[in-house]
Amino acid sequence: MAVGYLDVFPHPARGGPEAPMAFEGLDFYNVDSHFTDEERMVRDLVRNWTEDNVIPIIEEHCRNATFPMHLVAQLGDLGLLGMNLDGYGCAGMSNVAYGLACQELERGDSGMRSFVSVQGSLCMFPIWKYGTDEQRQKYLPDMATGKLIGCFGLTEPDFGSNPGGLVTKAVDDGDSYVLNGAKMWITNGSIADLAIVWAKLVPPGGTLADGRIHGFIVEKGDAGFTAPQMHGKHSLRASVTSELVFDDVRIPKNRLLPNVSGLRGPFGCLDNARYGIAWGALGAAMACYDSARNYALSRIQFGKPIAGFQLVQNKLAWMLREITKGQLLALHLGRMKDDGSLFPEQISLCKMNNVDIALQIARVARDIHGANGVLDEYPVMRHAANLESVYTYEGTHDIHNLILGRWITGIQAFQ
Ligand code: TGC
Ligand code: FAD
């Protein structure tokens, strides 16, 4: 038999119908060669852990709308909680390593990456960055192991894209602050031991309009604080989403985050979490690409694998192209974050691009699976549904468009 192109370059990604079906990760441009040994080790560790511990159980959790709580301590043991922070029991890894961990977790499910994003970037980070040393000592070591779970309350029923208008209010009352208001759509809310709550601190005798945004640490068990779980989500079903309700909650003064005020506080946290999402979305996209490729190679129609039809190859080639571009964006973004040269609009571009392409890839992958694509035997519909939330949270796609529009023109078009 003549030696063909596929024999000369026998990379599995170019294999025929007998190609290995196990997940190998997509790396068309050998991005791998730009990672350090430590980053590769983290990536492989989290990839294998996800393969063994998340993928076998996640459809069941999605069906039942439950979060796999038993995995929290393992995330801590793996060093993934607050992993890019230094000290206080945190792993102190590079931002690229953090990104790779997000990628591998989200290949399992966006809910796993969400848990880690919220714990590390949205709850541990503000304590680490804006808190006192006493607060850091009190919370961070136990949060790094998963013994304590955190959440982040910014969004309110009437203030989503426009958090500057938030109406949750803290009033100075001598030795404590009194908190009133409500948050909505809060990941981990009902399972959290503590919440970072962003509220307007009103000066004595002042009104809400005089208030400036501050971060407060609210603990589970604080009188007047409840966190009812939200139900009925078609997306991120294996993740807990909650309201936070504050009814005259007294917060001791040593639970104010003293080192920041104004929107730059929550936005500083969001910079980290949006960065992680930019990588995470690639994991969901890779899972969908992998499933679509395997399915196309094995599904026979009109006497041959559907992978042999030009239209299907066009879809797979487009996925390969977009994932490869997304990987290069994420890697460069991570290196800039590690060397301190990154500015927030650069994160917006990567978050919106990588989530957008991941969502489109999930939809096209569903199409390639035909009717089977709507079954939970395949991961594609779950990823597509999850990515609808990822497209909206941490700044909607269009809010990131407007952030870039402001950077380009100098004119804000939010209002
Ligand atoms: P604006 O006037 O632009 O800024 C107000 C102050 O904030 C500073 N700032 C930033 N600082 C750090 N990083 C950034 N990215 C920052 N962006 C702005 C800015 O310098 C200013 O500081 P100062 O000291 O001069 O006052 O604010 P704006 O009110 O015009 O807002 C603009 C807009 C629309 C971009 C912003 O509101 C926005 O990003 N909206 C989206 C809201 C959002 O992302 N919410 C996320 C909620 S948390 C979540 O979704 C978690 S999901 C978790 C999961 O499950 O994974
Ligand atoms: P809106 O702001 O009402 O936007 C609705 C639509 O209007 C969008 O298409 C938006 O792009 C568009 N729009 C709004 N303003 C403009 C404008 N100026 N110009 C053009 N278009 C505009 N929040 C937290 O604080 N903590 C969490 O842990 C958290 N977890 C979440 C988990 C899930 C599963 C989900 C779905 C959301 C979560 N959120 C969380 C909330 C999330 O951040 C908000 O949903 C998001 O910021 C958008 O706000 P909104 O839903 O109120 O939409």
Contact 149, 140 (CB under 8 A): no
Residues in contact with 72: Cβ distance below 8 Å, sequence separation at least 6, in sequence order: 115, 146, 149
DSSP string across 364-385: HHHHHTGGGGGSTTSSHHHHHH
Among 25, 35, 21, 31, which residue's Cα sits nearest to residue 104? 25
Give the model confidence (pLDDT) of 205-214 as tens digits. Answer: 889 999 999 9
- Cα 264 to averaged position of ligand 1 atoms, centre (Å): 7
Q: Which ligand is nearest to the CA of 343?
A: 1
State which of 98, 263, 394 you would mutate to test the pocket of ligand 1, scoring each by most atoms of that ligand within 8 A of its C-beta. 263
The count of C-alpha atoms lying within 13 angstroms of the C-alpha of 87, restricted to the half-sphere facing its C-beta, is: 9
Closest CA to 326 of 286, 269, 382, 386: 286
Per-residue pLDDT reduced to its tens digit, 368-380: 999 999 999 999 9
Which token pair is 318?
């487009």
Cα-based distances in Å from 288 to 278, 293, 322, 370: 16, 8, 13, 14
Question: Which of 196, 233, 264, when mutated, tests ligand 1's pocket best, judged by the most ligand atoms within 8 Å of its CB?
Answer: 264
Sign of the torsion formed by the C-alpha atoms of 188, 189, 191 and 193: positive
CA angle 258, 400, 360 (to 5 degrees): 130
**Pocket of ligand 2 contains residue 414 by CB under 6 Å:** yes
Residues with CB under 6 A from ligand 1: 114, 117-118, 152, 154-155, 161-164, 187, 262-264, 267-268, 270-271, 273, 344, 393-395, 399, 403, 414
Does the CB atom of residue 112 touch ligand 2 within 6 A?
no
pLDDT at 14: 45
Sign of CA dihedral 218, 222, 225, 231: positive
Q: Which amino acid, 282? A: L
Could you give the dihedral angle defined by the CA atoms of residues 246, 149, 272 and 106, in that order, rounded to the nearest 10 degrees?
Answer: -120
For the chain, how many residues are written? 415
Q: What is the pLDDT of residue 205?
A: 84
Q: Which two tokens stand for residue 395?
A: 């700044």
- Under DSSP, the state recorded for 244 is E
The tokens of 258 are what?
A: 């003293």
Separation between Cα atoms, residue 287 and residue 196, nearest integer Å: 32
Tell me how far apart the alpha carbons of residues 396 and 407 are, in angstroms, rounded to a whole number.
Answer: 17
> What is the pLDDT, as a whole number, of residue 204?
82
The rounded Å distance from CA 90 to ligand 1 centre is 26
pLDDT of residue 16: 46
Q: Whose CA is nearest to atom 23 of ligand 2?
A: 155
Atom of ligand 2 nearest to the CA of 396: 11
| Secondary structure (3-state) at 22 | coil
Annotated active-site positions, please? Answer: 394
pLDDT of residue 246: 98
Q: What is the DSSP letter of 52?
A: I
Ligand nearest, relative to CA of residue 196: 2
DSSP state for residue 21 in the 8-state scheme:
-
- Which two tokens mark 108? 């399992």
Shortest-distance ligand to the CA of residue 227: 2
* pLDDT score at 22: 58
Closest CA to ligand 2's atom 26: 186
Round to whole Å and give the CA distance between 166 and 126. 19
Query: What does the pLDDT read at residue 17?
Result: 45
SS3 197: strand
CA 115/CA 214 separation, integer angstroms: 23
CA-to-CA distance for 402 and 398, rounded, in angstroms? 6
State which ligand 1 atom lies nearest to the alpha carbon of 403.
Answer: 35
Q: How remote is the CA of residue 363 from the centroid of ligand 2, in Å?
A: 22
Which residue's CA is the nearest one to ligand 1's atom 25? Answer: 264
User: What does the pLDDT read at residue 132?
Assistant: 98
Write phi, then psi, for 107 (nearest 5 degrees). -60, -35
The pLDDT tens digits along the chain (415 residues) read 444 444 544 444 444 444 444 577 899 999 999 999 999 999 999 999 999 999 999 999 999 999 999 999 999 999 999 999 999 999 999 999 999 999 999 999 999 999 999 999 999 999 999 999 999 999 999 999 999 999 999 999 999 999 999 999 999 999 999 999 999 999 999 999 999 999 999 988 889 999 999 999 999 999 999 999 999 999 999 999 999 999 999 999 999 999 999 999 999 999 999 999 999 999 999 999 999 999 999 999 999 999 999 999 999 999 999 999 999 999 999 999 999 999 999 999 999 999 999 999 999 999 999 999 999 999 999 999 999 999 999 999 999 999 999 999 999 999 9
